[in-house]
Structure 1
Amino acid sequence: MQLLATTPGLYPLPDDAKETLSDLKGHQRGDMISGDEDDDIVAVYEDVRTELIDTQAAAGLDLVVEGQARWDDMLAHPLVVHENVETGGIVRYFDNNNFYRDPIVRGELTPDGDMAAELEAASALTDDLQAVAPGPYTLAELATDEYYEDDAVFLDAVTDFLAAEVEAFPAAVESLFLLEPSLVTNPPGEGEDERVSQAIDAVADAIDVPVVVQTYWGALEETVHAHLLDADVDAIGYDLVSDHEASIDLVAEYGTKDDIALGVIDGQNTLVEEPETIVERVEWVDQQTPPAQDFDTVYVTSNTELFYLPVNRFEDKLGALAAAADLGVNE
């Protein structure tokens, strides 16, 4: 069993960059609009990208993300910056007490290469690049559709958009985390769950690297989990912080992929987990699963994005993940 330390990205802005961007944009982070930044703002984000990648390298992470410093509206970002999407009023995504703008789709979702450009810039800074993208179901759920006017057609459009975006990722990308918290918080109903699995499959097929579907904010429903297992992805991620018993019950009863991602540290709580504690959590999962379920790779990660943490605690948690992966597990 190989442990790889990584994260689902979406990091907190360093304090100095936050202040500078606030001055340049005239607003706090939650009110900033990205996608059409002027040169001064672009330069700040370039510096932040370098700083965040250097921080991950110093911590010793196995897979390094771009950091998503520009993603002011978190997982909705790829739509928020699209030319055919209007940024609406402030809404709350999920139940995390953070507020973002509502992306209102007014026209065709043609690919624009925004994520690929960020990854291309990051590829010059690390040889261990992991891409991060919202999954198609979550991205569709976070948006308001005023163009396609049919839920199934809209999901297909979002899927095609994401697949084209992912296909444009640079060759330097070594793995992809698709973030799908809406599978837990607003699970698709009967019939739709199969379409969602097919949508995830289509996005994963757009790139020839290991693809992890990271779910969080709780445990998946049984039927949603079953359909997700049908998707041609390399690993499913389970949130061991929000609901470890229900999450691992799914694995114990229904199995999972040969690789697995485990959200073993809390992405919102400032308490920093000890590396030994992280390893114990991984070993506990291994003990709860049937002998036939022998994992090749375990991605040890936070259960959610790390944006919610103070910068110093965020850095400490990166170090704890890397140290845990170095410790390994007792086979």
Structure 2
Amino acid sequence: MVHTTVVGNYPRIGDTPDEQSLRRAIARFDKGEISAEDLQEAERDVVKAVLREQNDAGVELVTDGQISWYDSQSHIARRLASVEIDGLARYFDTNTYYRQPVVRGAVAWKEPILVDEWKFAQTNSKAAVKAVLTGPLTLGSLALDKHYRGKKALTLDLANALGEEVSALVRAGAAHIQVDEPILTRHPEDLPVAVEGLERIRARKGAAALTLFTYFGEVSNIFEQLVDTPADVIGLDLVQG
């Protein structure tokens, strides 16, 4: 049986005036006209609209659209110990940018990062909500490392931290966890490190289903190895890949 899902994020801001409510709220927040609580309410209104669209379309496994994420790197990294957020860097070969994490010391999990967002989404969805995390190899590869001076050590500490987050999500009730590793389309030679990181995350997932997703290119040269990774589901990009 084939089930339907979405990869993860939705556009935060659309083309119509109604779809630009979040842009207006962000502008007002930047001017000091509304509070952080008001901005969160505006974000959550968009999350509810995103969930409603997926529910109405019959999607069986939905996401919150990652509406509250400024980008795929800083949203998680900024809540980890020893990580600061710096200026903008280009995200792969897209026309979007991310706030680059800077690692100043040993990375560690401090507190739940996505749990409240997942709980809100699940409360407002008829279908199961999938929690989506940027993978440790991608986080480590796109960060500015001022401490480890080695990708593997940083990736594995990030994997330990993400494992703690996955454990918190599972305790909250999440039954589906997705880990995104788009960096594998650019550096397939790093797959062994990605696998070692994924094994550490898998050890904390309990009975939840674990999905590994790649995108922004093809992974045909490592497809057989991907199938053997410790993930229950593999997601592939069939547009750019």
TM-score (norm 2): 0.86
| Counterpart Cα distance in 2 of 1:26 and 1:137 | 36
Correspondence 1:20 to 2:35 = no
Alignment of 1:286-325 (within 5 A): none
AA at the equivalent of 1:15: Q
* Contact 1:205–1:232 (CA under 8 A) maintained in structure 2: no
Correspondence 1:116 to 2:112 = no
How far 1:221 sits from its partner (Å)? Answer: 5.2
AA at the equivalent of 1:5: T
Show structure 1 runs of 5+ residues with no match.
28-36, 244-331
| Counterpart Cα distance in 2 of 1:157 and 1:229 | 24
AA at the equivalent of 1:143: A
Aligned residue for 1:238?
236
Alignment of 1:153-192 (within 5 A): 153-170=153-170, 171-187=172-188, 189=189, 192=190
How far 1:181 sits from its partner (Å)? Answer: 0.8
Partner of 2:75: helix, strand, or coil? helix
| Counterpart Cα distance in 1 of 2:72 and 2:142 | 10
How far 1:83 sits from its partner (Å)? Answer: 5.4
| Counterpart Cα distance in 1 of 2:238 and 2:140 | 25
AA at the equivalent of 2:152: A
How far 1:184 sits from its partner (Å)? Answer: 0.4
AA at the equivalent of 1:133: L
| Counterpart Cα distance in 1 of 2:114 and 2:194 | 22
* Contact 1:86–1:103 (CA under 8 A) maintained in structure 2: yes
Aligned residue for 1:146?
146
How far 1:45 sits from its partner (Å)? Answer: 2.0
| 1:65/1:153 CA distance change after superposition, 3 Å | same
After superposition, the C-alpha distances for 1:3-27 in whole angstroms (9 at most, x for unaligned) are 2111121211231112211221249
* Contact 1:129–1:172 (CA under 8 A) maintained in structure 2: no
RMSD: 2.1
Partner of 2:105: helix, strand, or coil? coil
Partner of 1:22: helix, strand, or coil? helix
| Counterpart Cα distance in 1 of 2:7 and 2:39 | 24
How far 1:62 sits from its partner (Å)? Answer: 0.5
Aligned residue for 1:214?
213
Partner of 1:74: helix, strand, or coil? coil
Aligned residue for 2:102?
104
| Counterpart Cα distance in 1 of 2:147 and 2:115 | 25
Aligned residue for 1:71?
69
Aligned residue for 2:15?
none
Moved over 6 A (4+): none
| 1:131/1:45 CA distance change after superposition, 3 Å | same
* Contact 1:116–1:166 (CA under 8 A) maintained in structure 2: no
AA at the equivalent of 1:62: E
Query: Aligned pairs, how many?
Result: 229
TM-score (norm 1): 0.64
Query: Which residue, out of 13, 17, 37, partners 1:39?
Result: 37
| 1:159/1:104 CA distance change after superposition, 3 Å | same
| Bigger mean CA deviation after superposition, 76-85 or 195-204 | 76-85
After superposition, the C-alpha distances for 1:109-134 in whole angstroms (9 at most, x for unaligned) are 22221112211222212241111111
| Counterpart Cα distance in 2 of 1:240 and 1:92 | 23
| 1:54/1:136 CA distance change after superposition, 3 Å | same
| 1:123/1:17 CA distance change after superposition, 3 Å | same
Alignment of 1:245-264 (within 5 A): none
Aligned residue for 1:55?
53
Partner of 2:154: helix, strand, or coil? helix
* Contact 2:112–2:165 (CA under 8 A) maintained in structure 1: yes
